[in-house]
């Protein structure tokens, strides 16, 4: 049998760090990249005798995430201990949630390029604490434990096995990331590890109803490595089945360098986490009032923004989807419109030039350095004829380098468009004199020659000549000479 005869079944466990100021159970800051063990205290270092106190924002943010993903919010919830030994887990237990997560039974809707929609069901969202970090010791040959990240709050979002393709996985993750960014509960920086996904994969022959044995893959830190890991693991599982062997249920670690997965734990070391309710923490009981208040203050979500863009600004389905896929692009768009009142132009800039530059620079929309207001000002400068649209593109490049007011950039660079007819006429005459051959060609019917002459004039004026006037004057002069 071939690969096409198999169906791939995937479910995801996404861990997203919450953007609270302090850790989940102590008052240490959560800033990324601090010097080792400087954001620690007796509590997150698990000194004997210390006790956890739950950060109220963690509950609020998790409920927000639950509401934004159509979950039911549990009225009664609690914290449980998950017991295991690992040097990045100082208490030898992780405070998590076992049988009473804060949120359950939700879904997010994904959409492919053709606009086909699919609901991915969420099993649950629960709160837990992040572990510390192990660094490799360059000189001593050991490992070094840094506990700055220990106790940073996380939500774990667990999906049902509703995903079938790598494309769906990517759409799902991007959608989730965008929702969490919109509701401002997480920064979702994959490269900093604040948004991570573990993938559960199994395969079965098409038509089978029983699920195959699944493996869990960890340690993928980009969309691309997730896709690669899935492709590798699917091939591996199909090969095993094709050879008549059985897939073993295990946890695998993706290695991006070798492009392979490796088994993470010894088989004899079967894990038994001995979950039990944490006696140091009291029950969480959420009132209707509390939940409703969060619901009412939830910001507009991507889905609803998209509908509004279609309706209010008449954007195409595709453009609306791209812009709303990121809170940052969408906010840029709205701020630009507030300045220039020209949705069509703002849409075009974002979809074409800005997207192209993001791609070239390999940066995320969140890293766009300039504001929507500045984009709006740029659009206004072009509308007013102060600069041409080709100068506009150069201004955009400048905005990426050093964000300041476009008007100032234009002024400093001397890019103000020349609209003075007398001045342009001088240039036109000079170009005509210097290019008799082109003039002759034009007269002989080669209309392309006009383009060449206009181009020369633009070069002469460093692109600043008003192109409309320039064109008119050339035609006028050429007619005269006839």
* Segment near other proteins (CB under 8 A); pick from 171-179, 203-211, 267-275, 305-313: 267-275
Span 336-365, contacts to other proteins by CB under 8 A: none
What whole-number distance in Å separates Cα of residue 347 and Cα of residue 333? 7
Closest to other proteins by CB, 151 vs 212, is 151
Binding-site member from 6, 11, 17, 20 for other proteins (CB under 8 A) = 20
Q: What DSSP assignment string belongs to 90-102?
A: TTSEEEE-SSS-S
* Segment near other proteins (CB under 8 A); pick from 15-23, 120-128, 379-387, 389-397: 15-23
Secondary structure in 3-state letters for 140-172:
CCCEEEECCCCCCEEEEEEECCCECCHHHHHHH
Per CB under 8 A, 274 contacts other proteins = yes
Secondary structure in 3-state letters for 377-429:
HHHHHHHCCCCCHHHHHHHHHHHHHCCCCHHHHHHHHCCCCECCHHHHHHHHH
Per-residue tokens: 254? 């993706």
Residue 299 and residue 318 in contact, taking contact as beta carbons nearer than 8 Å: no
Span 278-337, contacts to other proteins by CB under 8 A: 279-285
If binding means CB under 8 A, how many residues of this protein chain bind other proteins?
62
Would you give the DSSP letter of residue 49?
Answer: T
Span 89-108, contacts to other proteins by CB under 8 A: 90-93
Per CB under 8 A, 22 contacts other proteins = yes
Binding-site member from 3, 21, 105, 462 for other proteins (CB under 8 A) = 21
Per-residue tokens: 410? 């234009």
As measured in angstroms, the least distance from the Cβ of 124 to other proteins is 20
Per CB under 8 A, 448 contacts other proteins = no
Closest to other proteins by CB, 143 vs 367, is 143
Binding-site member from 64, 81, 306, 464 for other proteins (CB under 8 A) = 81
Binding-site member from 3, 5, 87, 390 for other proteins (CB under 8 A) = 87
Three-state SS at 139: coil
Binding letters toward other proteins, positions 25-44, x by CB under 8 A: --xxx-----xxxx-xxx--
What whole-number distance in Å separates Cα of residue 27 and Cα of residue 151? 10
**CA torsion angle 466 467 471 474 (round to 10):** 60
Per-residue tokens: 94? 């992780």
Binding-site member from 9, 45, 158, 291 for other proteins (CB under 8 A) = 45
As measured in angstroms, the least distance from the Cβ of 117 to other proteins is 36
Angle at 212 between CA 210 and CA 215, to 5 degrees: 150
What whole-number distance in Å separates Cα of residue 377 and Cα of residue 388? 14
As measured in angstroms, the least distance from the Cβ of 40 to other proteins is 6
Residues in CB range of 454: below 8 A, 6 or more apart: 467, 470, 471, 474
Span 225-264, contacts to other proteins by CB under 8 A: 253, 264
Closest to other proteins by CB, 9 vs 54, is 54
Sign of the dihedral defined by the CA atoms of residues 65, 13, 88, 81, in that order: positive
Per CB under 8 A, 206 contacts other proteins = no
Closest to other proteins by CB, 119 vs 285, is 285
Interface contacts to other proteins, rule CB under 8 A? 20-22, 27-29, 35-38, 40-42, 45-57, 59, 78, 81, 83, 85, 87, 90-93, 134-137, 140-146, 253, 264-265, 269, 272, 274, 276-277, 279-285
């Amino acid at each position: 049998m071939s690969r096409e005869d198999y169906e791939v079944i995937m479910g995801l466990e996404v861990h997203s760090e919450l953007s609270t100021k302090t850790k989940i159970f102590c008052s240490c800051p959560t800033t990324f990249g601090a010097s080792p063990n400087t954001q620690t205290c007796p509590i997150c270092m698990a000194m004997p005798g210390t006790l956890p106190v739950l950060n109220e924002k963690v509950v609020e943010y998790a409920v927000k995430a639950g509401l934004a993903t159509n979950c039911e919010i549990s009225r009664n919830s609690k914290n449980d201990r998950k017991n295991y030994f690992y040097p990045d887990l100082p208490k030898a237990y992780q405070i998590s949630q076992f049988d009473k997560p804060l949120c359950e039974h939700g879904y997010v809707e994904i959409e492919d390029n053709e606009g086909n929609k699919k609901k991915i069901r969420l099993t649950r969202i629960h709160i837990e604490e992040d572990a510390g970090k192990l660094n490799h010791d360059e000189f001593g040959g050991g490992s070094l434990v840094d506990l700055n990240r220990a106790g940073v709050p996380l939500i774990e979002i667990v999906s049902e096995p509703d995903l079938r393709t790598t494309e769906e996985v990517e759409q799902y993750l991007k959608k989730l990331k965008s929702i969490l960014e919109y509701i401002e509960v997480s920064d979702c920086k994959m490269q900093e590890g604040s948004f991570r996904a573990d993938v559960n994969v199994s395969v079965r022959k098409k038509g089978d109803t029983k699920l195959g044995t699944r493996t869990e893959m960890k340690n993928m830190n980009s969309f691309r490595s997730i896709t690669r890991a899935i492709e590798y693991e699917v091939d591996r599982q199909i090969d095993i089945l094709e050879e008549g062997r059985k897939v073993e249920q295990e946890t695998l670690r993706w290695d991006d360098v070798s492009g392979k997965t490796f088994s993470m734990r010894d088989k004899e070391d079967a894990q038994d986490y001995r979950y039990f309710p944490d006696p140091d923490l009291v029950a969480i009981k959420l009132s209707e009032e509390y939940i409703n208040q969060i619901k009412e203050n939830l910001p507009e979500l991507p889905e609803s923004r998209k509908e509004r863009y279609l309706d209010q600004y008449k954007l195409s389905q595709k453009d609306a989807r791209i812009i709303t896929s990121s809170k940052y692009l969408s906010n840029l768009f709205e701020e630009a419109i507030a300045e220039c009142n020209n949705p069509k132009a703002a849409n075009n800039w974002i979809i074409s030039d800005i997207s192209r530059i993001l791609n070239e620079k390999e940066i995320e929309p969140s890293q766009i350095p300039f504001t929507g207001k500045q984009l709006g000002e740029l659009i206004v400068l072009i509308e007013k004829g102060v600069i041409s649209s080709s100068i506009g593109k150069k201004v955009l490049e400048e905005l990426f380098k050093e964000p300041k007011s476009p008007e100032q950039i234009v002024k400093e660079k001397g890019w103000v468009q020349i609209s003075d007819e007398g001045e342009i006429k001088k240039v036109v005459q000079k170009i005509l004199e210097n290019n008799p051959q082109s003039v002759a060609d034009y007269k002989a019917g080669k209309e392309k020659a006009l383009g060449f002459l206009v181009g020369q004039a633009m070069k002469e004026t460093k692109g600043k000549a008003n192109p409309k006037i320039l064109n008119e004057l050339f035609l006028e002069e050429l007619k005269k000479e006839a």
